[in-house]
Amino acid sequence: MSIRLIVEEKGIKESDRDKLARIHFMIDGTAFPDEEWVDAKEILHWWRHTLRSLQPQSTCLLHFKEGPYKVKCSRGDDEVLVECLRESLSKDVPVLKESILFQTFVEMLHRADM
């Protein structure tokens, strides 16, 4: 399985610049930057580093092919949820479809790297 990762700041208000990151995380698909593949181990390293550097209640946005996903961050990995949203993240009240623990997300990435 091929995994790519993008981090961008488009569409993020200046006041939220330190709290939000928009991430395009494509599985078996195209991503930006096109020339830069990122494997699951690199993604795990990035997530661990980034989540630890975020303030509690910070938000990251994830986009899968089915996207989008939202990650609610806290200091402990077990408290971080990946929430699958049916609605656009620009909506005032996104619709929650499902949540998984960040640790489960990490395990999925480990399996994808095999």
What pLDDT, in 10s, does the model give residues 39-85?
Answer: 445 555 666 666 556 555 555 555 444 455 555 544 444 444 555 44
Three-state secondary-structure class, residue 81: strand
- How wide is the angle at C-alpha 99 spanned by C-alphas 93 and 103, nearest 5°? 135
Give the model's confidence band at 111: pLDDT under 50 very low, under 70 low, under 90 confident, else very high: low
Question: Would you say 76 and 62 are in contact if contact means Cβ atoms under 8 Å apart?
Answer: no
